[in-house]
Amino acid sequence: MELKIGIRGKAETVVTEENTAKSAGSGNLQVFGTPYMIALMEKAACEAVAPYLDEGCTTVGTQLNVAHLAATPLGDRVTAEVELVEIDRRRLCFKVTARDSVDLIGEGTHERFIIQADRFLEKANAKKGS
């Protein structure tokens, strides 16, 4: 399988007390939290391209430009959808959206880089000795 523009992905969750703005500390209300919406978008992007990567490779998120447009109450389902719109060597750019059962609740762009997992972790873990 070849990594190419147009690859799509999706991830879903249900709003619970554990993924609210109040739980994340990003607000005081029991509605779907922005950090969790962003994580759902990143999950959809990561999983969408995973089958196309060489063994030992994965992607890491490096940039987000996302607007959270509408609140989602407890018990509602949220679906994040992504489309790969640009490939520049190891840099992947996605169009991202999130919807609940009623509204478009978030949209924007997300950038990920393809990395060698073992080298990436080795470099990160080297910080422990600093």
Give the list of residues 6+ apart from residue 13 with CB closer than 8 angstroms, or none. Answer: 19, 36, 40, 77, 78
Secondary structure letter of residue 53 according to DSSP: S
43/73 Cα distance (integer angstroms): 21
Torsion-angle region of residue 75: left (phi > 0), alpha (psi -120 to 50) or beta? left
Greatest alpha-carbon span in the chain: 50
What is the set of active-site residues? 34, 42, 68
- Residue 53 in contact with residue 120, Cβ under 8 Å? no
